[in-house]
Structure 1
Amino acid sequence: MTLIAAKWSVDDYQKMIATGLLDGRSVELINGAIIQMVPAGIADAFCCRGTAKYLRTILGDRAEISEAHPISLPSDSEPEPDIAVLKTPDTLYQNRHPQPDDIFWLIEIANTTLVNDLGVKRELYAQAGISEYWVMNLQTSELKVFRDLSANEYRSEISLDSGTISPLAFPDLAIDLSRLFR
């Protein structure tokens, strides 16, 4: 006998949340599966807060910065990226989670989650059409930048450990890596 796992839709997942079934559980929906999230460590939380604060300062009212909140993707997924840089105004998200067309770029902060962030999450975000995805490796203070979407895959991977980077959505902006990895 072959066992087949039940796949959940975003609607199913939202119903579970609304009824309180998932209260007290740190989970996210990935490709129809409810996945236990790795708790954020002290370094992860500190870096996430600092990065979000820095991005809010330099982006001003050009973008919303969302920290560890769900986004809805078409693959029966509602991941919670560490940082999502979103279109304004924030009232767009009053009755729904941000969707791919709302997202300028996503950032995952990896201390113990690097394999997942460079594997499953990278594939998930590429398949959803997210044009830019960053992984901040706290072990090496290296930023991996994924861009150039083609056939649901990122064709470009840049690794940086110093200097500045300009996101695709804001080419006039120079983001200082030393401020990200402070």
Structure 2
Amino acid sequence: MTITTYKWTIQRYHQAIEAGIFDDQHVELLRGDIIVMPPEREPHAYYNTETADYLRLLLGERVKIRDAKPITLPDNSEPAPDIAIVKPLGDIYLQHHPYPEDIFWIIEFSYATLNKDLGDKKDAYAEAGISEYWVANLKNTELKVFRDIQNNRYTTELTLTTGTVTPLAFPDISVQVERIIGLPKINN
């Protein structure tokens, strides 16, 4: 016997959302699969909010910072990254979520979802052509920065615990790594 799984399209996914099929469950579509997102714990929510506020101060009206809002990718994916730094296109986003060409970079805060964020999500973002992807690893207090796409894969990976990082799209901005990942815990 062969097991066949159902692959969702973005259109069917939107129809299911409009029909209330998922109720208030936090789900996202990744490569045709519906992923139920785990509840957000306090550190995740804290760093997500603080980083979004920090980036709004740094970048001003040059961008729109979207927290946990969907983006649309061409491979039947509609993930909701923790932070998407996108072009400020105004009411265009009433018609569609940001497409890859609208996205400057994406940030995910990871603890429970670290394997997915460093695996399937990283691959999906690279394949979609999103030029920069950051993962704040809350388990190890480090920032992973992925850049330089070749053959649908990120070829540069930086692991940062201190200092600053400059986003590719904004070479005039320096982002303090500690503001993204927090300070290391001191054991007494």
State TM-score, norm by structure 2: 0.94
Q: Which runs of 5+ in 1 are unaligned?
A: none
**Cα offset for 1:92?**
2.4
The equivalent of 2:53 in structure 1 is: 53
Note the 1:31-180 alignment, pairs <5 A: 31-180=31-180
Q: What secondary structure, in the 3-state scheme, does the structure 2 residue paired with 1:59 have?
A: helix
Q: Which runs of 5+ in 2 are unaligned?
A: 183-188
Letter in 2 for 1:173: I
The equivalent of 2:17 in structure 1 is: 17
**Cα offset for 1:89?**
2.9
Q: Which runs of 4+ in 1 moved over 6 A?
A: none
The equivalent of 2:27 in structure 1 is: 27
Matches of 2:33 and 2:54 in 1, distance apart?
33
Matches of 2:137 and 2:90 in 1, distance apart?
29
Matches of 1:180 and 1:156 in 2, distance apart?
20
State TM-score, norm by structure 1: 0.97
Q: What secondary structure, in the 3-state scheme, does the structure 1 residue paired with 2:125 have?
A: helix
Write the deviation string for residues 82-104 of structure 1: whole angstroms up to 9, x where unpaired.
00000013322121111101000
Matches of 1:138 and 1:26 in 2, distance apart?
21
Write the deviation string for residues 91-120 of structure 1: whole angstroms up to 9, x where unpaired.
221211111010000000011211111001
Write the deviation string for residues 23-67 of structure 1: whole angstroms up to 9, x where unpaired.
221111111111111111111000100000000011000100000
CA-based RMSD? 0.9
